[in-house]
Structure 1
């Protein structure tokens, strides 16, 4: 991808020239606060600041990266786009050019942040598009150019209204060495991380300082510390540990569940065995009692679903539904059992070894990789209850070979592209080449209605071939005390640590 060198004079497009003028008139805003907030992330170790490209980062790592090494933009508490390293930006009328003006900033070694450095880091991120499903979602980015020392232009091959949502993800945070550009600086202590953010005063006022003491603990300990008043904020809860919140008495209103969109269900884990047979996948998919699983998990507001695309993605009002969706499970059960007998003929009983009755024949086994913790146990128990009447045995795959894997992944934007591209042949063992071709066509078209049509056709194929067995929306939860007024649930489950406590409610 071309990068502007200091000595090279780029010839910007007309749209970029117009945006260079418009971007000067946009302003960000911020809210001063004070008082240290004691926060915990559910994890087995303290988060570490690392380049998102260096490997798979834990949710705790991504929380830290997003707060210490922001990208051009970031999410505010409500999940809306806020200024990051870019203090302002503008978008051309045709949606093909984004121009960002960088704020004055330095790296931890005191070196000034320049546009060409940012472009170089972004180039490394964009180079991952063919190897990583998240970075693949920014495939429409055609060129990133340093226009001046503080102005960057991102040009697209087709309009992408969700670009800012993607760039706000911590995966696009800009890490240079072991440092970022804020909004917080971090110092590692023996058992916690000390995060500090300084806001300059206005009109002669004193500077405001925000401080967060961030530690890590396993879910049971984190919940207990919150109940005991030893921490004010617990982040990083998933379906794995959500059932633990039901066995303690939490302060009223402290349990906060993010209204996220994403993928929560089963995906084939290998291209052999039961997962490779579309008829078996269809049988198992139809036999899942989604209402019972959702009820067993007990997550407030969680709704069962049978479509791959989740209601709430932009541009869609109708979703591919399997033909059996209009019938209740009881109405389908007899036919499911009959199909199971055809797909899994009863095995011949083993011979007895001493005149006793013949040993019971082993049942066909479906091995499933599920999340850990009590949430994963509930999921496995429900699958056993649903697939057992079909004559099947369900086992936890553990560290062994799985036939199916239960995934719980939050979408990085409200675009349908990520949902569908998640099942491209380059990322999963069981796929549809026809659907892949439709996704390629969607990327190339510049006509939004046609793009939606390609997505709808791809979803229909993927749902018919049962490349994914949807159950509900992902599960993300937090615990927030009454003095952490700045915390809010959001649809991306990305939580900034800025502005957690208002100045009026601050307690030192």
Structure 2
């Protein structure tokens, strides 16, 4: 914590004390992550960094997009209909192209979706796109997506940056310049606007990607209006800064946040009883206090909240037991294993860098030390026995949570669970799918491949001048919906 404090102080001195004026200038936005290099606005097949996702979401939309409140609104598609009891999604592209943009047709969008679904794709949404049976560009302006069965909230996937059509000024913003990792964006004109009565001029945006410490320092110095992309590992950096009241925002996201066991052929973690013992021993309330997470809600279940398919997610049998009793039971389980197999191993936990990650590891290691087990933190690319998962759910679907623990994910699994997940993907009705997913949820919970801690943490620092900013359940904040335009 002292090192983080010194870092912020040093960066403040580096950046100088010149505060931004709340004027008509561009909105300065820092996103925690790598600097934006050339080609950052072009979608890739793999995982997007937070700065790249923000840039792609601003300059290249998918069929749909999320507004400031996290609701699905038109993107490259002007309108859409859902028919055949939810099995057919038909999107129509706009009749009038926005001036200054590159034309896009249904065939290009179909190719983008097919690429995300392809066998060799590492698109993060690929596991959730298996419900799609056909993508057909009916006309240059109409695309028909057929599903194997109805899927609630499927539209939310088509609003994710991972399915965006990028580049070429496809909006809602376009790149004016990109120098030294800073991208200047301008709003595209509204093709439907009355040229004789132009609307108010929306603000431009200066976007950069940078480390959390530098981004916080820049915000405190008044040189940035908005910091996005904060995660749990960097939250202590924000807490120690001299922030004005009310500028720290935490998005109400849902998803997976916890430790996933790495599949092994032998040893301590191959036994589900041992994995359950480690999950039982953790004091989740203390984690919330140590990290000082506003609104922290500890969780023990893989699916943290109900979904349209599973209204009562499975919870471990020990959930209602008091922590001291859980730790006593866990200690007994470990002693029995030790008596039969010898010394307990020292478990390796792969964690990200950052003060929040160090606090989280210290809390977990302390709880496990209390039941007789040692742990050591390793880098995210190092060999490990457990790895931190910190993923926001892209849509309100149970399969996001459950498919993370299929056998192809390198975690302890069962063939029965995999079969249920495949049958659920091919189910002909929502009712049948719900039954199969609930069975898979129960089996995964009993097998204990994952130690759930709570929902992911995504935080921002927001200037009061950004009157259109809203906390988002998707942790996606459109850069064209931050500040009201100035009246002419």
Which TM-score band (shorter chain)?
Answer: 0.7 to 0.9
Q: Is the 8 A contact 2:255 2:391 kept in 1?
A: yes
Which whole-Å CA distance do the structure 2 matches of 1:446 and 1:313 have between them?
A: 19
State the TM-score, normalized to the length of structure 1. Answer: 0.85
Q: Is the 8 A contact 1:364 1:391 kept in 2?
A: no
Match of 1:71 in 2: 62
The number of residues matched between the two structures is 458
Match of 1:183 in 2: 172
2:358 pairs with 1:365: no
Q: Structure 1 pair 489/338, CA: closer, same or farther in 2 (3 Å)?
A: same
Match of 1:167 in 2: 158
Q: Is the 8 A contact 1:145 1:152 kept in 2?
A: yes
Which whole-Å CA distance do the structure 1 matches of 2:471 and 2:364 have between them?
A: 30
2:462 pairs with 1:473: no
C-alpha RMSD of the superposition = 2.4
Match of 2:222 in 1: 229
Which whole-Å CA distance do the structure 2 matches of 1:307 and 1:129 have between them?
A: 31
Match of 1:304 in 2: 298
Match of 2:74 in 1: 83
Secondary structure at 1:122's aligned position in 2? helix
Which whole-Å CA distance do the structure 2 matches of 1:339 and 1:281 have between them?
A: 10
Match of 1:20 in 2: none
2:190 pairs with 1:218: no
Q: Structure 1 pair 504/41, CA: closer, same or farther in 2 (3 Å)?
A: same
Q: Which of 156, 173, 179 is the matching residue for 2:147?
A: 156
Which whole-Å CA distance do the structure 2 matches of 1:38 and 1:274 have between them?
A: 50
Which whole-Å CA distance do the structure 2 matches of 1:120 and 1:106 have between them?
A: 22
Shift of residue 202 of structure 1?
Answer: 2.7
Secondary structure at 2:362's aligned position in 1? helix
- 1:62-461 pair list within 5 angstroms: 62-92=53-83, 94-103=85-94, 104-105=96-97, 112-128=103-119, 134-175=125-166, 179=168, 181-186=170-175, 187-200=177-190, 201-202=193-194, 204-206=196-198, 208-272=201-265, 273-345=267-339, 364-398=345-379, 399-461=381-443
Higher mean alpha-carbon deviation, 395-404 vs 480-489, is at: 395-404
Q: Is the 8 A contact 1:226 1:233 kept in 2?
A: yes
Q: Structure 1 pair 130/234, CA: closer, same or farther in 2 (3 Å)?
A: closer
Deviations 1:196-216 (A, max 9, x none): 112334362236343100122
Structure 2: gaps of 5 or more residues = 1-23
Q: Structure 1 pair 335/161, CA: closer, same or farther in 2 (3 Å)?
A: closer
Higher mean alpha-carbon deviation, 71-80 vs 40-49, is at: 40-49
Secondary structure at 1:158's aligned position in 2? coil
Q: Which of 12, 29, 32 is the matching residue for 1:42?
A: 32
Deviations 1:442-494 (A, max 9, x none): 11112212211111111110010101110100000011101111211111111
Q: Is the 8 A contact 2:116 2:122 kept in 1?
A: no
Shift of residue 54 of structure 1?
Answer: 4.0
Q: Structure 1 pair 148/363, CA: closer, same or farther in 2 (3 Å)?
A: closer
Structure 1: gaps of 5 or more residues = 1-33, 349-361
Which whole-Å CA distance do the structure 1 matches of 2:260 and 2:105 have between them?
A: 43
State the TM-score, normalized to the length of structure 2. Answer: 0.88
